[in-house]
Amino acid sequence: MFIYLYDEAATPTLDLGGITNYIKDKLPSSQIEVRENFITFHLARLERRGREEKMSHLAEELARAKVRKLGAPLNDLFVPLKGEIGYERRRLENQNKRVAGILYDGFVLSGILQGLLPPEECALNQVHIVFTNQLFGTWDEHDRRYHARVSIYNKPSLISTTGIVEAPAKPREYYLLKQQYTALGMYDAAEVGLKGNFRGRFIDYNDERMTRVMKGYVLQALMHQLTGEPFCTDKSCRLYNAHWQEEVIRSQVENPYDLCPAHERMLEALLS
Protein backbone atom coordinates (compact mmCIF):
# COMPACT_ATOMS: atom_id res chain seq x y z
CA MET A 1 0.00 0.00 0.00
CA PHE A 2 1.23 3.51 -0.85
CA ILE A 3 0.23 6.08 1.77
CA TYR A 4 0.52 9.83 1.23
CA LEU A 5 0.25 12.07 4.30
CA TYR A 6 -0.40 15.78 3.73
CA ASP A 7 0.76 18.23 6.39
CA GLU A 8 -1.23 20.94 8.18
CA ALA A 9 1.36 23.52 9.17
CA ALA A 10 -0.93 25.66 11.36
CA THR A 11 -0.88 23.04 14.13
CA PRO A 12 2.69 22.80 15.53
CA THR A 13 1.79 19.91 17.87
CA LEU A 14 0.91 17.67 14.91
CA ASP A 15 4.01 15.53 14.23
CA LEU A 16 3.72 13.60 10.95
CA GLY A 17 7.04 11.89 11.69
CA GLY A 18 5.45 10.27 14.75
CA ILE A 19 2.41 9.26 12.71
CA THR A 20 4.64 7.80 9.99
CA ASN A 21 6.44 5.62 12.55
CA TYR A 22 3.08 4.48 13.93
CA ILE A 23 1.85 3.42 10.47
CA LYS A 24 5.13 1.59 9.77
CA ASP A 25 4.63 -0.35 13.01
CA LYS A 26 1.08 -1.33 12.01
CA LEU A 27 1.67 -1.87 8.28
CA PRO A 28 5.38 -2.69 7.91
CA SER A 29 5.20 -3.30 4.15
CA SER A 30 3.56 0.04 3.36
CA GLN A 31 5.39 2.86 1.61
CA ILE A 32 4.74 6.26 3.16
CA GLU A 33 5.42 9.71 1.71
CA VAL A 34 4.93 12.91 3.71
CA ARG A 35 3.95 15.90 1.61
CA GLU A 36 3.19 19.57 2.25
CA ASN A 37 -0.34 20.97 2.18
CA PHE A 38 -2.54 18.99 -0.27
CA ILE A 39 -3.66 21.90 -2.46
CA THR A 40 -0.25 23.58 -2.54
CA PHE A 41 1.45 20.29 -3.46
CA HIS A 42 -0.88 19.35 -6.30
CA LEU A 43 -1.21 22.86 -7.75
CA ALA A 44 2.59 23.04 -7.95
CA ARG A 45 2.53 20.11 -10.39
CA LEU A 46 0.65 22.24 -12.96
CA GLU A 47 2.05 24.69 -15.50
CA ARG A 48 1.65 28.35 -14.47
CA ARG A 49 -1.33 29.07 -16.76
CA GLY A 50 -3.09 25.85 -15.82
CA ARG A 51 -2.40 26.57 -12.14
CA GLU A 52 -4.04 30.00 -12.34
CA GLU A 53 -7.12 28.62 -14.09
CA LYS A 54 -7.37 25.77 -11.58
CA MET A 55 -7.11 28.17 -8.62
CA SER A 56 -9.96 30.30 -9.96
CA HIS A 57 -12.10 27.19 -10.48
CA LEU A 58 -11.23 25.86 -7.02
CA ALA A 59 -12.08 29.18 -5.36
CA GLU A 60 -15.59 29.06 -6.84
CA GLU A 61 -16.06 25.39 -5.95
CA LEU A 62 -14.99 26.00 -2.33
CA ALA A 63 -17.33 28.98 -2.03
CA ARG A 64 -20.18 26.71 -3.19
CA ALA A 65 -19.17 24.04 -0.62
CA LYS A 66 -19.68 26.43 2.32
CA VAL A 67 -22.58 25.49 4.61
CA ARG A 68 -24.80 28.55 4.96
CA LYS A 69 -27.50 27.17 7.25
CA LEU A 70 -27.03 24.20 9.58
CA GLY A 71 -30.67 23.25 8.94
CA ALA A 72 -30.51 23.23 5.12
CA PRO A 73 -28.52 21.00 2.71
CA LEU A 74 -26.36 22.57 0.02
CA ASN A 75 -28.23 23.93 -2.98
CA ASP A 76 -26.48 23.03 -6.25
CA LEU A 77 -28.04 26.06 -7.93
CA PHE A 78 -26.63 28.55 -5.41
CA VAL A 79 -24.31 31.17 -6.94
CA PRO A 80 -21.70 32.47 -4.46
CA LEU A 81 -20.90 36.17 -4.23
CA LYS A 82 -17.73 37.53 -5.85
CA GLY A 83 -16.48 38.48 -2.38
CA GLU A 84 -16.84 34.88 -1.20
CA ILE A 85 -14.93 33.57 -4.22
CA GLY A 86 -12.26 36.24 -3.64
CA TYR A 87 -11.92 35.13 -0.02
CA GLU A 88 -11.38 31.52 -1.08
CA ARG A 89 -8.85 32.64 -3.71
CA ARG A 90 -6.81 34.53 -1.08
CA ARG A 91 -6.95 31.52 1.21
CA LEU A 92 -5.71 29.25 -1.57
CA GLU A 93 -2.68 31.52 -1.85
CA ASN A 94 -1.95 31.14 1.88
CA GLN A 95 -2.85 27.57 2.78
CA ASN A 96 -0.95 27.56 6.07
CA LYS A 97 -3.28 30.13 7.66
CA ARG A 98 -5.87 28.80 10.11
CA VAL A 99 -9.47 29.04 8.88
CA ALA A 100 -11.99 30.41 11.37
CA GLY A 101 -15.75 30.24 11.52
CA ILE A 102 -16.53 28.49 8.21
CA LEU A 103 -18.11 25.04 7.93
CA TYR A 104 -17.84 23.17 4.62
CA ASP A 105 -19.77 20.13 3.41
CA GLY A 106 -17.21 17.37 4.02
CA PHE A 107 -18.08 15.05 1.14
CA VAL A 108 -18.29 17.93 -1.33
CA LEU A 109 -14.94 19.19 -0.05
CA SER A 110 -13.36 15.75 -0.48
CA GLY A 111 -14.77 15.57 -4.02
CA ILE A 112 -13.25 18.96 -4.88
CA LEU A 113 -9.82 17.82 -3.65
CA GLN A 114 -10.17 14.51 -5.52
CA GLY A 115 -10.17 16.54 -8.73
CA LEU A 116 -6.56 17.51 -8.04
CA LEU A 117 -5.27 13.93 -7.84
CA PRO A 118 -3.35 12.74 -10.91
CA PRO A 119 -4.73 9.51 -12.48
CA GLU A 120 -1.53 7.61 -11.66
CA GLU A 121 -2.18 8.15 -7.92
CA CYS A 122 -5.79 6.95 -7.86
CA ALA A 123 -5.26 3.18 -7.75
CA LEU A 124 -6.93 1.12 -5.00
CA ASN A 125 -3.61 0.54 -3.23
CA GLN A 126 -2.91 4.28 -2.94
CA VAL A 127 -4.25 6.15 0.07
CA HIS A 128 -4.24 9.93 0.42
CA ILE A 129 -4.78 11.27 3.97
CA VAL A 130 -5.14 15.04 4.22
CA PHE A 131 -4.70 16.87 7.52
CA THR A 132 -6.49 20.20 7.42
CA ASN A 133 -7.54 22.96 9.82
CA GLN A 134 -10.75 23.46 7.84
CA LEU A 135 -13.94 22.63 9.73
CA PHE A 136 -16.33 20.40 7.80
CA GLY A 137 -19.56 18.56 8.49
CA THR A 138 -22.01 16.07 7.05
CA TRP A 139 -25.75 16.34 6.49
CA ASP A 140 -27.83 14.06 8.73
CA GLU A 141 -31.19 13.01 7.25
CA HIS A 142 -32.50 11.93 10.68
CA ASP A 143 -32.53 15.35 12.32
CA ARG A 144 -32.22 17.36 9.07
CA ARG A 145 -29.13 19.35 10.00
CA TYR A 146 -25.36 19.46 9.54
CA HIS A 147 -23.03 18.06 12.19
CA ALA A 148 -19.35 18.98 12.43
CA ARG A 149 -17.01 15.99 11.96
CA VAL A 150 -13.39 15.13 12.71
CA SER A 151 -12.91 12.98 9.61
CA ILE A 152 -14.27 11.98 6.22
CA TYR A 153 -13.04 8.65 4.81
CA ASN A 154 -12.93 8.88 1.05
CA LYS A 155 -10.31 9.48 -1.67
CA PRO A 156 -8.76 11.59 -0.30
CA SER A 157 -9.59 11.08 3.37
CA LEU A 158 -9.79 14.30 5.39
CA ILE A 159 -8.87 14.67 9.08
CA SER A 160 -9.51 18.04 10.71
CA THR A 161 -7.36 19.46 13.54
CA THR A 162 -10.16 21.99 14.11
CA GLY A 163 -12.82 19.29 14.00
CA ILE A 164 -11.16 17.32 16.82
CA VAL A 165 -11.64 20.42 19.02
CA GLU A 166 -15.09 21.50 17.86
CA ALA A 167 -16.95 18.35 16.74
CA PRO A 168 -16.99 15.89 19.70
CA ALA A 169 -19.12 17.26 22.53
CA LYS A 170 -17.42 18.49 25.70
CA PRO A 171 -18.55 17.25 29.16
CA ARG A 172 -22.22 18.06 29.94
CA GLU A 173 -21.20 20.19 32.95
CA TYR A 174 -19.18 22.40 30.58
CA TYR A 175 -22.31 23.45 28.69
CA LEU A 176 -24.35 23.97 31.88
CA LEU A 177 -21.72 26.32 33.30
CA LYS A 178 -21.37 28.09 29.95
CA GLN A 179 -25.10 28.79 29.94
CA GLN A 180 -24.81 30.29 33.43
CA TYR A 181 -21.86 32.52 32.42
CA THR A 182 -23.70 33.61 29.28
CA ALA A 183 -26.86 34.44 31.23
CA LEU A 184 -24.73 36.77 33.36
CA GLY A 185 -23.24 38.39 30.23
CA MET A 186 -19.73 37.05 31.07
CA TYR A 187 -18.86 35.76 27.58
CA ASP A 188 -15.07 36.16 27.77
CA ALA A 189 -14.93 34.87 31.34
CA ALA A 190 -16.84 31.80 30.19
CA GLU A 191 -14.21 30.88 27.59
CA VAL A 192 -11.22 31.48 29.85
CA GLY A 193 -12.71 30.11 33.03
CA LEU A 194 -14.27 27.01 31.55
CA LYS A 195 -11.13 25.94 29.70
CA GLY A 196 -9.26 26.13 33.00
CA ASN A 197 -11.94 24.28 34.94
CA PHE A 198 -12.13 21.45 32.41
CA ARG A 199 -8.46 21.31 31.36
CA GLY A 200 -7.49 17.82 30.26
CA ARG A 201 -11.07 16.68 29.67
CA PHE A 202 -11.16 17.77 26.02
CA ILE A 203 -8.72 18.19 23.13
CA ASP A 204 -7.88 21.86 22.60
CA TYR A 205 -6.10 23.77 19.83
CA ASN A 206 -2.37 22.92 19.74
CA ASP A 207 -2.99 20.24 22.37
CA GLU A 208 0.13 18.25 23.24
CA ARG A 209 -1.92 15.06 22.73
CA MET A 210 -2.77 15.98 19.11
CA THR A 211 -0.35 13.53 17.42
CA ARG A 212 -1.36 10.61 19.66
CA VAL A 213 -5.04 11.29 18.99
CA MET A 214 -4.55 11.62 15.23
CA LYS A 215 -2.81 8.24 15.00
CA GLY A 216 -6.19 6.61 15.67
CA TYR A 217 -7.96 8.62 12.99
CA VAL A 218 -5.26 7.70 10.46
CA LEU A 219 -5.75 4.06 11.42
CA GLN A 220 -9.51 4.45 10.80
CA ALA A 221 -8.78 5.86 7.32
CA LEU A 222 -6.53 2.88 6.56
CA MET A 223 -9.07 0.35 7.84
CA HIS A 224 -11.69 2.01 5.65
CA GLN A 225 -9.39 1.50 2.66
CA LEU A 226 -8.63 -2.13 3.60
CA THR A 227 -12.07 -3.35 4.70
CA GLY A 228 -14.65 -0.64 3.93
CA GLU A 229 -15.47 -0.38 7.67
CA PRO A 230 -13.37 2.11 9.69
CA PHE A 231 -15.17 1.83 13.07
CA CYS A 232 -15.38 -0.47 16.09
CA THR A 233 -17.96 -0.63 18.91
CA ASP A 234 -15.28 -1.19 21.59
CA LYS A 235 -14.87 2.16 23.40
CA SER A 236 -11.21 1.42 24.15
CA CYS A 237 -10.26 0.59 20.55
CA ARG A 238 -8.54 3.17 18.34
CA LEU A 239 -11.30 2.58 15.80
CA TYR A 240 -14.13 3.69 18.10
CA ASN A 241 -16.30 6.40 16.50
CA ALA A 242 -16.29 8.87 19.41
CA HIS A 243 -18.96 11.57 19.66
CA TRP A 244 -17.86 12.96 23.04
CA GLN A 245 -14.48 14.44 23.93
CA GLU A 246 -14.14 12.08 26.90
CA GLU A 247 -14.69 9.15 24.49
CA VAL A 248 -11.92 10.52 22.25
CA ILE A 249 -9.52 10.69 25.21
CA ARG A 250 -10.47 7.19 26.39
CA SER A 251 -10.07 5.55 22.95
CA GLN A 252 -7.00 7.48 21.76
CA VAL A 253 -5.03 8.53 24.87
CA GLU A 254 -5.99 6.46 27.90
CA ASN A 255 -6.78 3.25 26.03
CA PRO A 256 -5.59 0.05 27.75
CA TYR A 257 -4.73 -1.39 24.34
CA ASP A 258 -4.20 -0.01 20.84
CA LEU A 259 -6.63 -2.11 18.85
CA CYS A 260 -9.21 -4.40 20.42
CA PRO A 261 -8.41 -8.14 20.19
CA ALA A 262 -10.86 -8.64 17.29
CA HIS A 263 -9.28 -5.89 15.19
CA GLU A 264 -5.75 -7.01 16.08
CA ARG A 265 -6.62 -10.43 14.67
CA MET A 266 -8.27 -8.84 11.63
CA LEU A 267 -5.18 -6.75 10.91
CA GLU A 268 -2.88 -9.76 11.30
CA ALA A 269 -5.06 -11.70 8.84
CA LEU A 270 -4.97 -8.84 6.33
CA LEU A 271 -1.17 -8.67 6.53
CA SER A 272 -0.55 -12.43 6.31
Give residue 191's pLDDT: 65
Q: How far is CA 96 from CA 34, 90, 91, 163, in A?
A: 16, 12, 9, 16
For residue range 64-79, list pLDDT tens digits in order: 999 999 999 998 788 8
Other CB atoms within 10 Å distance of the CB of residue 180: 11
Percent of the chain with pLDDT over 70: 97
Give residue 189's pLDDT: 60
Average pLDDT over residues 157-177: 92
Task: For 173-215, give the DSSP string.
Answer: HHHHHHHHHHHTT-HHHHHHHHHHHTTTSS--TT-TTHHHHHH
| Range scoring the smallest mean pLDDT among 142-146, 207-211, 231-235, 268-272 | 268-272
Q: How confident is the model at residue 182 (pLDDT cuts 50, 70, 90)?
A: confident
Percent of the chain with pLDDT over 90: 78
Mean predicted lDDT score pLDDT of the chain: 92
For residue range 84-120, list pLDDT tens digits in order: 999 999 989 887 777 778 999 999 999 999 999 999 9
- Contact 193/181 with Cβ under 8 angstroms? yes
Give residue 81's pLDDT: 93
Average pLDDT over residues 236-247: 97
Q: How confident is the model at residue 190 (pLDDT cuts 50, 70, 90)?
A: low
Q: Indicate the residue type of 181.
A: Y
Q: How far is CA 143 from CA 72, 153, 163, in A?
A: 11, 22, 20
Q: Indicate the residue type of 119.
A: P
Q: Is the pLDDT of residue 32 over 70?
A: yes
- At a CB cut-off of 8 Å and minimum separation 6, what does 210 contact? 11, 13, 14, 161, 164, 203
Give residue 37's pLDDT: 93
Give residue 199's pLDDT: 82
Tell me, yes or no, if the pTM score tops 0.85.
yes
Q: How confident is the model at residue 192 (pLDDT cuts 50, 70, 90)?
A: low
Average pLDDT over residues 227-249: 96
Average pLDDT over residues 26-46: 95
Task: For 10-69, give the DSSP string.
Answer: T-TT--HHHHHHHHHHH-TT-EEEEES-HHHHHHTTS-HHHHHHHHHHHHHHHHHTB---
Give residue 76's pLDDT: 79
For residue range 115-153, list pLDDT tens digits in order: 999 999 999 999 999 999 999 999 999 999 999 999 999
Cα 3-5-8 angle, rounded to 5 deg: 170
